Amino acid sequence: MTTDKNINLTMLCDFYELTMGNGYLAAGMADRVTYFDLFFRSVPDDGGFAIAAGLEQIIDYIQDLHFGPEDIAYLRGRGIFSEDFLKYLEDFKFTGDIWAVPEGTPVFPREPLIIVRAPAIQAQLLETYMLCMINHQSLIATKANRIVRAAKGRTVLEFGSRRAQGGDAAVVGARAAYIGGCAGTACALSDQLYGVPAGGTMAHAWIQMFDSELDAFRAYCRTYPESATLLVDTYNTLQSGVPNAIKAFDEILKPLGIKKCGIRLDSGDLAYLSRHARKMLDDAGWTECTITCSNSLDEHLIQDLLNQGACIDCFGVGERLITAESEPVFGGVYKLAAVEEPDGSITPRIKISENVGKITNPHFKKLYRFYGRDTGKAVADYLCVHDETVDDSGTLEIFDPEATWKRKTVYDFEAREMLVPIFQGGELVYDRPTLDQIKAYCAAQVDTLWDEVKRFENPHRYYVDLSQKLWDIKDALLHGRK
C-alpha cells in the first residue's frame, strides 16, 4: 500500500543494491545463485519471543517486481550504470525460490524468518522492501501480543492511526496488531484493504457540538441504539458523564429492550474512575454496560490497572502500540549465507565481527521446532544444514550455541519444519491463509510456549540450537579452516 499508486515499489531499495547489481553483471556474477537469510538479533523490550508478520505484503511485492520506463530513465540519468545493466533491468523478473515461517509464528533471535535462493542481482534487490515489511509488522505484532496478554482476556483495540509514522504504517500496523491479537482497529482503510474489523463511536467534539452533554448522549443513542458507547470524560466523569450516560440509556435504550451498551474513559485515574463508574452503572441496573478505557496505554500500564482492581472490559491502545514506543526498532537484517557453485554444490559464507552478536550462521539451512508429545509445548528450535533430517523417534542432545557447555537432552518430542515454500522458480506456490486464519494460528502457537518464556520481566531464554554439522561448519569458517 502506498499513497501514490504510480510509485513502483521495486524502486524502494537502497541505492547500493543497484550499484552492486551493476557490479555483479560487470563481474560476470549476475547469474551466480546465492542464499540469503533474513533474521533478527534481539527481541524487542527484552521479551522472550517475537511474532513474525509482513509476509503477505512481500508476496504482493515480488509478484509485481519490474522496472518501468520511468525507472530506467532515472537510472540512466545517474550516469553510473551500464547499458547492459539497464537492459537487464528492463527484462527483470524474479525467478528464485523463497522459504519463510508463516505469519503469526513466534520466532527467536538469529533464526531465519525468510530464506531467499536466487541469482545474485535478484536476491540483492529484495533486501530493503523485505526488511521494511518484516521489521515493521513483526515489531507491531510483537508489541500487540504483549499488550493483549497483559489484558488477560479482555478486548484490546488498536487506536493508533493518528500517531503512526505515516499512512502506510497506520494501515499495515493495524493489520500486524490484529495478527498479534487485537480484536479490531479504528482505521477504516485497514478494514477496507485487509479486513481488520474497524469500529468507533465518538470524539469529544461530538459532545461539545451539542448544547449539553445529555443532549449529545441522547442523539447518539437514537442514531446507534444497538452499539451505543458514550465518551463520558468531556466535562466531569463521575459528576456528569456517567450520570448523563445512565439517563440516556434509561430514556432511549431501555424502552427498546436494549441492554448492550458501553461507556469510554479517555483521561484521569482510570483505575479509580472505572471502579466508581462500574458501581454507578450496576446500581442503575446497567450491569451489561461495558467500560472501555484509552489514554496512552501499554502492557505495563494495563497490568498495573488490573492489579489495582480496575473494572475495565476493553482497552483502546494507540501511540504506544502503533509506534512500539518502548523499543521502536525490530532490528532484522538480511545476510548472505551461501553461494551455489556451477556443479550445484553449496559453499557456505559467514560474516565475522568483533561484535559476537553480529556473527552470522552460515549455509543453506532448515529450521525445526521441537514440541513435547506429552505437553504440546515448544521445547527448542533447531537449525541444521539443508540436507540434514531430524529423527524424532528417540532422544537428541542439543546445546546452547551461546554457551556450548550448556546442554539439554530432548526426548518424546515431535520435530516440525518451520520454513515453508513460498516461491519456487519465481512462481508462487504458497496457499495464502486469510487474516483471521493467521490471527488464530498466532494465538495457537503462542499458547505452545511455556509461561516462563512469555514473562515480561526476565523471560526464560528459549533454546535455538545448531546441529553438530552446522556448528562444525561455522567453527571451521571462524577459524579459517575449509
175-186 residue pLDDT tens: 999 999 999 999
99-158 residue pLDDT tens: 999 999 999 999 999 999 999 999 999 999 999 999 999 999 999 999 999 999 999 999
The rounded distance, in Å, linking the Cα atoms of 328 and 336 is 26
CA neighbor of 102 nearest in space, from 450, 435, 447, 464: 435
- Kind of pairing between the strands at 33-40 and 97-100: unpaired
Alpha helix (H) residue ranges in 224-345: 242-248, 270-283, 299-307, 319-322
**C-beta of residue 385 within 8 angstroms of C-beta of residue 365:** yes
**Domain boundaries along the sequence of the chain:** 9-140+328-478, 145-322
CA neighbor of 233 nearest in space, from 187, 293, 179: 293
The rounded distance, in Å, linking the Cα atoms of 266 and 187 is 18
Q: What amino acid is encoded at 429 in this protein?
A: V
pLDDT at residue number 391: 87
Q: How far is CA 247 from the centre of its chain?
A: 43
CA neighbor of 155 nearest in space, from 291, 43, 276: 291
* Average pLDDT of the chain to the nearest whole number: 94
SS3 assignment, position 339:
strand
pLDDT at residue number 396: 84
* Topology of domain 9-140+328-478, CATH: nicotinate phosphoribosyltransferase (3.20.140)
Q: What are the angstrom distances between the C-alpha of 48 and each of 42, 63, 145, 373?
A: 9, 34, 12, 22
206-260 residue pLDDT tens: 999 999 999 999 999 999 999 999 999 999 999 999 999 999 999 999 999 999 9
Place of cell 527481541: 43
Distance, first Cα to last Cα, the chain: 46
pLDDT at residue number 393: 85
Q: What amino acid is encoded at 41 in this protein?
A: R
What is the per-residue burial (b if ≥16 Cβ within 10 Å, else e) of 322-361? bbbeebeebbbbbbbbbbbeeeeebebbbeeeeeeeebbb
The rounded distance, in Å, linking the Cα atoms of 277 and 344 is 70
SS3 assignment, position 99:
strand
The rounded distance, in Å, linking the Cα atoms of 322 and 143 is 9
Q: Does domain 145-322 have CATH number 3.40.50.620?
A: no
SS3 assignment, position 392:
coil
**C-beta of residue 216 within 8 angstroms of C-beta of residue 206:** yes
Contacts of 107 (CB under 8 A, 6+ apart): 40, 49, 50, 51, 52, 101, 113, 138
385-430 residue pLDDT tens: 999 999 888 788 776 666 555 677 888 899 999 999 999 999 999 9
The pTM for the full model equals 0.95
**C-beta of residue 51 within 8 angstroms of C-beta of residue 179:** yes
CA neighbor of 134 nearest in space, from 195, 76, 188, 61: 61
Mean pLDDT score, 368-375: 94
The share of the chain scoring above pLDDT 90, in percent, equals 91
Place of cell 429492550: 257
pLDDT at residue number 353: 87
104: left (phi over 0), alpha (psi -120 to 50) or beta: left
